[in-house]
Structure 1
Amino acid sequence: MRLSSTRLGRANLDRLAPRSRRPAYDRSRVTPGIVHLGLGAFHRAHQAVVIDDCLAAGATSSASSWGIIGASLRSPDTRDALAPQDHLYTVAVRAAEGTEHRVIGALLDSVVAREKPGALVERMANPAIRIVSLTVTEKGYCHTPQTGDLDERHPDVVHDLNNFDAPRSAPGFIVAALARRRAQGLSPFTVLCCDNLAANGHTVQRIVTQFAALRSKDLGKWIADTVAFPCTMVDRIVPETTDADRDAVAAALGMRDAWPVMTEPFTQWVVEDRFAAGRPDLAAAGVELVTDVKPFELMKLRLLNASHSALAYLGYLAGYETIADTMRDPYFARLAAQVMEEAAVTLTMPAGTDLAAYRASLLKRFANPALHHRTWQIAMDGSQKLPQRLLGAMQDRLAKNLPIATHALAVAGWMRYVTALDEQGRAIDVRDPLAAELAGLAREAGPVAERLAPALLGVEKVFGPLGAEPRLREAVTAALGRLFKEGARRAVETHVSA
């Protein structure tokens, strides 16, 4: 099949294949009201789609003032792919029964922070910008996950404190822009975190105010007193885009899109309705506006994210490339269900919440054969993810004197994975901020659970005081011993069959 060489762009939207959706509004009238830090696939498949819906539903001129300026903090790849096509891109929604294609127009422009940091600060300081949102992943906040505090020794934090107007980190950009707005007598923007941090709004507020206070106590107090940091919960599975995906999208559109995003039909966004400078009509786009996000956040972290991580580490070790491949193994599907069942007892949900239905929907989503979500991709940055996804539930179960063997097996899977050697002795490309430290501990301990488990449990940034808890140490060491002895596939089968 010969693919079209025509590039997606504003001038040829009317030439899209008839079944492809396009922006349902006059894009030329849209002005920016949001700067988004972390212009990755998740944002483009989730928050940007919601804003696209808001723009389409808008009945007033003010509804068109919520366009997005995206910022990549490091890599120019997304900007370089999207700028030649007027920042239009395709969301391909994949289900077993077929794929729907939709071109998104909410993204108006993009910048690369490392190239011109001062220019990004200036755009964030513009009074037209009323929300700065973020998807920079857990590691992008330069914090210690176990405590939720700013890591003052982080290289980017040290740099930013000495180069206030040319920052590198997300906290650095936010504080520099807020400081400029304060100096100009302008009201602050709302900081809207869309990452999987525990109490993400409160956590980011703490990180940002701690950073600001290192520059000026008065600035830190002003931010603490005036800036809104709503908590949120985001949920949509977004695998990385492959060349085969690009070819499939080009065939469907009748033109090339350099960087489409792949996703699933399910999407959810729960937001604390607390904004300092207004917001789009999010409810019109299906967003759940609530006064307390925490129950929904813990539900997602401890049911979806925890089971996802368990499948990722143990599935990768067992030789499965994707989550859907892993779920085809009935023992792994049972493992995912057990992680959810055992975490569910640690949750307190609002009346009417059907946790059993939510768990069933997660298992169905994980098994979606059209969604090629790689175990290796989910396994990234585990040192940042474990406290929120697994350790909190383990701590709560221990407090109730409940067993933790299932979660311990998932943690042991992470420990086996970060040794950087798989079960056949081949190298694992471990992507983690602590990868070198973890690999060093693994080399020193060797493949002996009684040495490796205590060594990794002693990493304060990951486990904190919980790493010294005797019941946790015993359960994780036993699970890691089974992984070394039996391999991941057999260890999972043994565990879920017990």
Structure 2
Amino acid sequence: MDLKLTKSFLSTATAQFKGQVQVPDETLFSLPEKVLQFGTGVLLRGLCDYFIDKANKQGVFNGRIVVVKSTDKGDADAFNEQDGLYTHCIKGLENGKLIEETIINSAISRTLSARNEWSAILECARNPEMQIIISNTTEVGIALLESDKVTSTPPQSFPVKLLAFLYERWKHFGGSAESGMVIVPTELIVGNGDKLQEIVLEQAHRNALEPEFIEWIDTHNRFCNSLVDRIVPGKPENATEILQKLGYQDDLVIMSEVYRLWAIQGDEHVRKVLSFAQVDEGVIIEKDIEIYRELKLRLLNGTHTLMCGMAYLLGFKYVKDVMANGYMSRIITNLMLGELSLAIPYKVDSKTADRFGRMVLDRFRNPYINHKLLDITVQYSAKMRMRNVPILMEYYREFGRAPELFAMGFAAYLQFMHAVKEVNGNYYGECNGEHYQINCNYASYFYEAWDNFDLHKVLSNRSLWGEDLTQLAGFEESVSKYL
């Protein structure tokens, strides 16, 4: 297949798609550049760029993205050869119904290499239409590199690249209030916006930049904390088949689930600038986004943690297969909606928790996502403590009794942690005659504990749980009956 997805290809081939794919109108290619994006990864393309493209197609945001490629891996050629276009396949469940959608995303105008095109990136700072900066440079990207210089071409770290961009903008526009940016990092760090602002300001001081510039950063630029949630595995397994049907080649094709969430902490000014939020309920701009972090941590992550050991020991390999089993699906639904959602240690109304929980169950059932149960068991003990023990404590404060399905999942966790052998510091459990590796910092502790297992001793271990779980009336008895 020689025909590559490009603007010229679309101008001649749109008719052939016959409604099977959403194609951008050519007028979208002339929209002004309003967003600078640090990162080319699939999460940004499958979530943030998806929202911007959707808004553009509805005539709402009317702005395109300049992507900055910061790493040395690969190059920007694939993006520029395809005029920034890429195919996005969306597959999954929504309200229990199977959804399949294919989109050609046209939000990206061009991709620039930080190493080779730094002057072109600084030129973007002089564009009055430029309003927004988004990033996903991984968790280690938002870090203080003490030796980094704003005058380097380019600076090494993302925060100093951002500082250099803002400095160029401040100089060009004379420090006007209108030239301030809305900056939304999506890195998986709690308080990502606050952390980024803190490092940018510290680096401004370290680089001895003007006090007036530092005040402009602090006063006229908004650093927004944000939370992102969408499974974007990347290239679909059947990409060749999909592209053969569509009749073109696409080196940037991605797939994602249907569910999408981009929760952004911001005020009315932020809402006005990020106008693409109007077109999709998956973008939420509120003064407090902690509720969304709590819902995800307790209902999605917490349910995963309580179900994975139990399901694996029963012979299941993937989350979707567990949910396809009627008996297990009922247990997990009742665990999530009948126990966990009632005891989230944060003020949340029951309707919101129930609605979020049902969306999570749809995600668990997604037949297109192969989520291995064993992957969820990595650092099992730390996850149990962080995600689930606070819910257990809150449940007791509310109801004063043991949550039965929680106790069942907890017992399965303890059983999963029963290592039967140790090889070169690695610990292995056994299930249906096969050995599995226990990837947990407490594997050696449980290896010894199971030699002469004492449930009371394990539950009362404050260093493990941060609490003495034997003080919870009836919990030890409930766990014991499932072991």
What corresponds to 1:106 in structure 2?
107
* Secondary structure of the structure 2 residue equivalent to 1:238: coil
**CA spacing shift, 1:85–1:321, aligned 2, 3 Å:** farther
Alignment of 1:173 with 2:174, yes or no, is no
C-alpha distance in 2, partners of 1:446/1:379? 12
C-alpha distance in 2, partners of 1:112/1:318? 49
Alignment of 1:473 with 2:471, yes or no, is no
What corresponds to 1:279 in structure 2?
274
Listed one character per residue, the Cα deviations across residues 274-313 of structure 1 (whole Å, up to 9, x for unaligned) are 3479333421344333333222233234333454577789
**CA spacing shift, 1:94–1:210, aligned 2, 3 Å:** same
C-alpha distance in 2, partners of 1:106/1:179? 26
C-alpha distance in 2, partners of 1:20/1:357? 30
* Secondary structure of the structure 2 residue equivalent to 1:108: strand
Alignment of 1:236 with 2:224, yes or no, is no
Alignment of 1:7 with 2:7, yes or no, is no
Listed one character per residue, the Cα deviations across residues 187-211 of structure 1 (whole Å, up to 9, x for unaligned) are 2311112344324433433343344
Paired residue type of 1:141:
I
The 8 Å contact of residues 209 and 221 in structure 1, kept in 2 or not, is answered as no
Listed one character per residue, the Cα deviations across residues 341-372 of structure 1 (whole Å, up to 9, x for unaligned) are 43762344565742123212202211211233
Paired residue type of 2:464:
E
**CA spacing shift, 1:363–1:279, aligned 2, 3 Å:** closer
**CA spacing shift, 1:398–1:215, aligned 2, 3 Å:** farther
The 8 Å contact of residues 92 and 363 in structure 2, kept in 1 or not, is answered as no
2:260 to 261, 267, 276: 267
The 8 Å contact of residues 345 and 390 in structure 2, kept in 1 or not, is answered as no
* Secondary structure of the structure 2 residue equivalent to 1:354: helix
Alignment of 1:94 with 2:82, yes or no, is no
Shift of residue 111, structure 1, vs aligned partner: 2.4
C-alpha distance in 1, partners of 2:481/2:106? 46
The 8 Å contact of residues 133 and 191 in structure 1, kept in 2 or not, is answered as yes
What does residue range 234-313 of structure 1 map to in structure 2 within 5 Å?
A: 234-242=228-236, 244-274=237-267, 275=269, 278-286=273-281, 287-307=283-303
Shift of residue 177, structure 1, vs aligned partner: 1.4
Listed one character per residue, the Cα deviations across residues 258-282 of structure 1 (whole Å, up to 9, x for unaligned) are 1211112222333344347933342
What does residue range 68-147 of structure 1 map to in structure 2 within 5 Å?
A: 68-77=65-74, 79-95=76-92, 97=98, 99-117=100-118, 119-124=120-125, 126-142=127-143
The 8 Å contact of residues 346 and 393 in structure 1, kept in 2 or not, is answered as no
The 8 Å contact of residues 188 and 226 in structure 1, kept in 2 or not, is answered as yes
What does residue range 286-435 of structure 1 map to in structure 2 within 5 Å?
A: 286=281, 287-307=283-303, 322-325=318-321, 327-328=323-324, 334=331, 338=335, 341-342=339-340, 345-349=343-347, 353-373=351-371, 391=386, 394=389
The 8 Å contact of residues 313 and 379 in structure 1, kept in 2 or not, is answered as yes
* Secondary structure of the structure 1 residue equivalent to 2:22: coil
Paired residue type of 2:235:
T
**CA spacing shift, 1:367–1:108, aligned 2, 3 Å:** same
The 8 Å contact of residues 33 and 129 in structure 2, kept in 1 or not, is answered as yes
The 8 Å contact of residues 460 and 468 in structure 2, kept in 1 or not, is answered as no
**CA spacing shift, 1:106–1:332, aligned 2, 3 Å:** same
C-alpha distance in 2, partners of 1:121/1:407? 54
Shift of residue 36, structure 1, vs aligned partner: 1.2
Shift of residue 95, structure 1, vs aligned partner: 2.9
C-alpha distance in 2, partners of 1:71/1:302? 35
* Secondary structure of the structure 2 residue equivalent to 1:191: strand
What corresponds to 1:191 in structure 2?
183
* Secondary structure of the structure 1 residue equivalent to 2:109: strand
Shift of residue 58, structure 1, vs aligned partner: 1.8
Shift of residue 322, structure 1, vs aligned partner: 4.8
What corresponds to 2:17 in structure 1?
17
C-alpha distance in 1, partners of 2:59/2:481? 51
Shift of residue 407, structure 1, vs aligned partner: 8.3
C-alpha distance in 1, partners of 2:368/2:341? 28
The 8 Å contact of residues 53 and 107 in structure 2, kept in 1 or not, is answered as yes
C-alpha distance in 2, partners of 1:270/1:362? 16
Listed one character per residue, the Cα deviations across residues 358-401 of structure 1 (whole Å, up to 9, x for unaligned) are 21220221121123356688899x89xx79x9737645765887
The 8 Å contact of residues 318 and 370 in structure 2, kept in 1 or not, is answered as yes
C-alpha distance in 1, partners of 2:377/2:117? 32
The 8 Å contact of residues 306 and 390 in structure 1, kept in 2 or not, is answered as no
Mean Cα deviation higher: 341-350 or 18-27? 341-350
**CA spacing shift, 1:263–1:272, aligned 2, 3 Å:** same
**CA spacing shift, 1:359–1:98, aligned 2, 3 Å:** closer
C-alpha distance in 1, partners of 2:308/2:443? 23
2:217 to 212, 223, 226: 223
C-alpha distance in 2, partners of 1:23/1:314? 46
C-alpha distance in 1, partners of 2:37/2:415? 36
Shift of residue 497, structure 1, vs aligned partner: 4.7
Shift of residue 67, structure 1, vs aligned partner: 0.3
C-alpha distance in 2, partners of 1:212/1:256? 45
What corresponds to 1:466 in structure 2?
none
Indicate the percent of aligned positions where both proteins have the same amino acid. 20
**TM-score, with structure 2 as normaliser:** 0.71
* Secondary structure of the structure 1 residue equivalent to 2:102: strand
C-alpha distance in 2, partners of 1:79/1:104? 17
Shift of residue 12, structure 1, vs aligned partner: 1.7
C-alpha distance in 1, partners of 2:310/2:386? 17
Gaps in structure 1 of 5+ consecutive residues:
143-151, 431-437, 453-468, 480-493
C-alpha distance in 2, partners of 1:172/1:408? 48
The 8 Å contact of residues 309 and 373 in structure 2, kept in 1 or not, is answered as yes
C-alpha distance in 2, partners of 1:125/1:394? 51
* Secondary structure of the structure 1 residue equivalent to 2:206: helix
The 8 Å contact of residues 232 and 272 in structure 1, kept in 2 or not, is answered as yes
The 8 Å contact of residues 40 and 78 in structure 1, kept in 2 or not, is answered as no
Gaps in structure 2 of 5+ consecutive residues:
420-424, 450-458, 470-478
Paired residue type of 1:177:
F
Shift of residue 127, structure 1, vs aligned partner: 3.7
Listed one character per residue, the Cα deviations across residues 393-440 of structure 1 (whole Å, up to 9, x for unaligned) are 6457658877998689989999x9xx8776578999x9xxxxxxx9xx
**CA spacing shift, 1:172–1:78, aligned 2, 3 Å:** same
Paired residue type of 2:286:
V
